[in-house]
Amino acid sequence: MAENRLARELETRAQQERPKQWTPPELLPEPDKQPGFTYRWIRISTLNNADPRNISAKFREGWEAVKLEEQPKFQLLIDPTSRFKDNIEVGGLLLCKTPTELVEQRNAYYQKQSEQQVEAVDNSLMKQNDPRMPLFNERRSETSFGRGK
C-alpha cells in the first residue's frame, strides 16, 4: 500500500491553494514604514477647495509632509498642479509623518481629558444621591445571545 504514495518531497501545497481573486485597488496606498514614525494622510482640499485651516493645524501639531525621495514608489502618483511640490498628494490628501512618541503623548493627553470629563459627570451625578434611593454608577455593559422569555 505504501508503494502507491508519492514521496513527501514531491507533494506541494501550491496545488491546493485557492485561485487568486480580483479585489478593487486601495484608494490610498500604504507607505513603507520607517521605525519611529507614524504616517497619516491629511486633508489639504475638499472638492478642489483648499483647506488651509486643517493643514496648518496639523503642521502645528507636529506633522510634516513626506518628501518623494523618502517614498520613491509614489513617483507615479504625483500631482503636477499640487501646491506641495516634491511631496506626495493623492486626491486632496497629503502624506505626512510624525515621531511615534508625539502620537503617544497626544493619545495620553486626550485619554486624560476623557477620564477627567467622566469623573466630572460622575461627581455631578453623585451630588444628587439620596441614601433613601441610592444611585448606581455601573460602567459595564453586557451582551447576551439567545431567546428571551
Around Cβ 125, how many Cβ atoms within 10 Å? 11
Question: Domain for residue 140, yes or no?
Answer: no
Q: Evaluate whether 135 touches 121 at the Cβ level (below 8 Å).
A: no
Sign of CA dihedral 100, 105, 108, 114: negative
Residue 40 lies inside a defined structural domain of this protein: yes
* Local confidence pLDDT in tens for the 149 residues of the chain: 556 776 766 666 555 567 788 777 777 888 888 899 999 999 998 888 888 899 999 999 999 999 888 888 877 767 677 788 888 888 888 899 999 999 999 999 999 999 999 888 888 777 777 777 666 666 666 777 777 65
Q: Can you tell me the distance from the alpha carbon of 109 to that of 102, in angstroms, rounded to the nearest whole number?
A: 11
Domain-located, residue 3: no
Q: Contacts for 104-108 with beta carbons within 8 Å, 24 or more apart?
A: 106/61
β-bridge partners, 38: 98
In a domain, 57, yes or no: yes
Domain with 117, as residue range(s), is 36-124
| Measured distance CA(34)–CA(69) in Å, rounded | 13
Q: How many domains does the chain have?
A: 1
- For residue range 53-90, what is the model confidence (pLDDT) as tens digits? 999 999 999 999 998 888 888 777 676 777 888 888 88
- Residue 1 lies inside a defined structural domain of this protein: no
pLDDT of 135 reads 65
Domain assignment present for residue 21? The answer is no
**Alpha carbons 110 and 115: distance in angstroms, whole number:** 9
- For residues 44 and 50, is the Cβ–Cβ distance under 8 A? yes
What is the β-pairing status of strands 37-43 and 93-99?
Answer: antiparallel
List phi, psi (to 5°) of 117.
Answer: -65, -40
* Domain annotation covers residue 65: yes
